[in-house]
Structure 1
Amino acid sequence: MKAVFDTKPTSIYDDLQTEHYQFPRRYLNIVQRCENDWVVLRRPRADGGNLSYFAVAKVARIEQDPINPSMFYARYADYLQFDDPVPWRVEGRYAEEELRNIPQTQVGVYLRGRSVRRLSDEDFAALVASGLHRALSNTQSSGLLEGPLENITKALTSGLPEERDRKVKLVLTSRVVREANFRDLVCNAYEGRCAITGLYLADHAGNLEVQGAHIWAVADGGPDMIQNGIALTATVHWLFDRHLISLSDNYELLIADGKIPLAFRKFFGDPSKRIALPKREADRPHPGYIAKHRALFLAKNRE
């Protein structure tokens, strides 16, 4: 069963946006029905939230809190942030069927005590189509979804339930879509510039040369999230992936001794200065992911 999980950065619960959702016993029955299925994460109005849906994740398993037996954790897999937050209401129409079926004046009252609630498969597919619209538009040539995609929402939500669910699952697990989504989020956060060289390159059509580099590699367990990304020009991306360069905790550049020609190192500028970072602090590389990359950098350069 699909569901909506309401969560916010200053939640009183032990929520870790990309990894788990903590909830009290009263939600256990509904969350158990979501196990091995997908949920949409929504930020409520509290704490300055904009009542929008911002990501999807798969509920991989449910565990009881070892410290507080009245609390439980929904552990995530395949977390995927939307290209842009999806409004919970567009032109007076709510994204959730349960909210559409009650008087609009009663919606606020209805949501009290319902931070976890059922979401229909049809509404889930529509939210995925809206939330991943840019990524899906950028991957049309891959043939992931059969037929023309003039209307991505229609392409993803039409057909028999079994066919619709197959297409949605295909989109959410596709590396092609995830890479397109990741690159779009990261490159937009860095405004199309390489974080290390400062270069901004685009062709006549406006396509950016800069790439979205994973800090903690996906092959090693790294997530497709903006805090695990950094925008790098192609050659610098190559150096970063091979741990010839890395970052300090203060976002200063670390360079392997004797491995990079001086003629190229001039593009790095002063390595003791902090690299260029996204304006929004929430979009900046997570220290934990940087630490994982740096550990490999140090290990490889001791060999």
Structure 2
Amino acid sequence: MVKLVLMHKAESLYEDELDVAYDFPKQYLKAITQAVGDWIVYYEPVKAGPRGYFAVAKISRVIEKPDQAGRYLALIEADSYLSFDVEVPRLSEGVPLETALIDPSGMPKKGGLVQSAVRRLPEADFARIVNWGLPQDLERQEAIRYDPVQPELHDAPVLFERPVIERLTRRAYRDVAFRRKVREAYDFRCAMSGLQLRNGGGRPEVQTAHIRPVEHGGSDAVRNGLALSGTLHWMFDRGLISVAQDCETILVSQNKVPSDVVSRLLRPDGKLVKPADPRSAPHPANLRWHRENVFGQVIGDEPLNWG
């Protein structure tokens, strides 16, 4: 196995679904096949945008792309994709983070490998990039984000250095990273009520919901998330509300949710608030899964008391 950098351009002719599959030509088949079972880092080239290194994922297998001769898909392990909390720049103090892109003089190389859509990534480079994009202390950063002075944190504990892969696969860490990215994508605003509420300390009241739960094949990509108030999150998870095929009209289980509850909780136009960046908008396939598998089915034993 080998780790790779995979180049992604949003307007490319290749139909990447970054948390599902990476579309590539035959010339990279050998390299990507060798990476099956290992981790990759997604990279946005200079001419495509400012992001640099922006996400990590794991390749589960490679298949031929249906009806596309000479094209292949690297399928992404369902629960592996994770956006970086901080997008990682291409250069640090003028020097590439990938050692293979540094020429003998210590300056960035030009052309050739730099422009390759698939590059081998040594373990040390992988760890350096991931540690920058997904810091070791991300959970602690989030814990003190809106309450920096906590009694139990007066004597700051020594950070337990977890290996990179352990951190990438630990559910608690991934949940924090997912929550931070989704709430920021929606500017800390509930996607269904439109409200942007904060408590006295500035802590946002909005929560995050997986549209398709991880245990049912969903990913931790922002496009599989919604920022929702606590009540609407509860209703969404229990199938009382969903989103229509147009990806913006809010659906309500009318026989289970009283109309006055709808008028109090949802935006007057009944439309979803979407992120400013269209790349973060809910993916149609995830919304369809929720409509077909959750909407209309009350999940849980709690009595529906709307009083």
> TM class by shorter-chain length?
0.7 to 0.9
Change in Cα spacing, 1:299 to 1:2, as seen in structure 2 (3 Å) is: same
Change in Cα spacing, 1:299 to 1:269, as seen in structure 2 (3 Å) is: closer
- What amino acid is the match of 1:121? E
TM-score by length of 2: 0.82
Preserved contact between residue 243 and residue 291 of structure 2 (Cα < 8 Å): yes
* Residue 84 (str. 1) matches residue 86 (str. 2): yes
Identify unmatched segments of 5+ residues in structure 1. Answer: 142-146, 157-166
Residue equivalent to 2:284: 287
Per the TM alignment, residue 298 of structure 1 is displaced from its structure 2 partner at its CA by: 4.9
* Residue 196 (str. 1) matches residue 188 (str. 2): no
Which residue, out of 203, 214, 218, partners 1:218? 214
Within-5 A mapping of 1:1-303: 1-46=2-47, 48-50=48-50, 52-65=52-65, 67-68=67-68, 70-77=70-77, 78-103=80-105, 107-111=109-113, 114-133=116-135, 135-138=138-141, 148-149=158-159, 155=161, 167-250=163-246, 251-262=248-259, 264-269=261-266, 272-300=269-297
Deviations 1:103-152 (A, max 9, x none): 566622133652211111111111111111374444789xxxxx723xx9
Q: CA RMSD in A?
A: 2.6
Preserved contact between residue 15 and residue 22 of structure 1 (Cα < 8 Å): yes
Per the TM alignment, residue 271 of structure 1 is displaced from its structure 2 partner at its CA by: 5.5
Q: For residues 174 and 230 of structure 1, what CA distance do their matches in structure 2 show?
A: 21
Deviations 1:20-70 (A, max 9, x none): 223333323322321211110101123x32260011111111223454554
Mean CA deviation greater in 89-98 or 246-255: 246-255
Q: For residues 214 and 140 of structure 1, what CA distance do their matches in structure 2 show?
A: 21
Change in Cα spacing, 1:270 to 1:31, as seen in structure 2 (3 Å) is: closer
SS of structure 2 residue aligned to 1:177: helix
Preserved contact between residue 138 and residue 180 of structure 1 (Cα < 8 Å): no
Mean CA deviation greater in 195-204 or 244-253: 195-204
TM-score by length of 1: 0.83
Identify unmatched segments of 5+ residues in structure 2. Answer: 145-156, 299-307
Q: Pick the structure with more helix per residue.
A: 1
Q: For residues 269 and 76 of structure 1, what CA distance do their matches in structure 2 show?
A: 35
Change in Cα spacing, 1:138 to 1:264, as seen in structure 2 (3 Å) is: farther
Change in Cα spacing, 1:275 to 1:93, as seen in structure 2 (3 Å) is: same
Preserved contact between residue 239 and residue 296 of structure 2 (Cα < 8 Å): no
Change in Cα spacing, 1:233 to 1:176, as seen in structure 2 (3 Å) is: same
Q: For residues 99 and 267 of structure 2, what CA distance do their matches in structure 1 show?
A: 55
Paired-residue identity, % = 35
Mean CA deviation greater in 273-282 or 167-176: 273-282
Number of corresponding residues: 281
Q: For residues 187 and 100 of structure 1, what CA distance do their matches in structure 2 show?
A: 37
Q: For residues 86 and 168 of structure 2, what CA distance do their matches in structure 1 show?
A: 16
Deviations 1:7-26 (A, max 9, x none): 11122333222222233333
Preserved contact between residue 192 and residue 267 of structure 2 (Cα < 8 Å): no
- What amino acid is the match of 1:49? G
Residue equivalent to 2:154: none
Change in Cα spacing, 1:194 to 1:118, as seen in structure 2 (3 Å) is: same
Preserved contact between residue 83 and residue 132 of structure 1 (Cα < 8 Å): yes
Per the TM alignment, residue 84 of structure 1 is displaced from its structure 2 partner at its CA by: 2.7
Deviations 1:210-264 (A, max 9, x none): 1111111212111111111111111110010000111123412221124234553
Preserved contact between residue 245 and residue 255 of structure 1 (Cα < 8 Å): yes
Change in Cα spacing, 1:270 to 1:96, as seen in structure 2 (3 Å) is: closer
Mean CA deviation greater in 269-278 or 12-21: 269-278
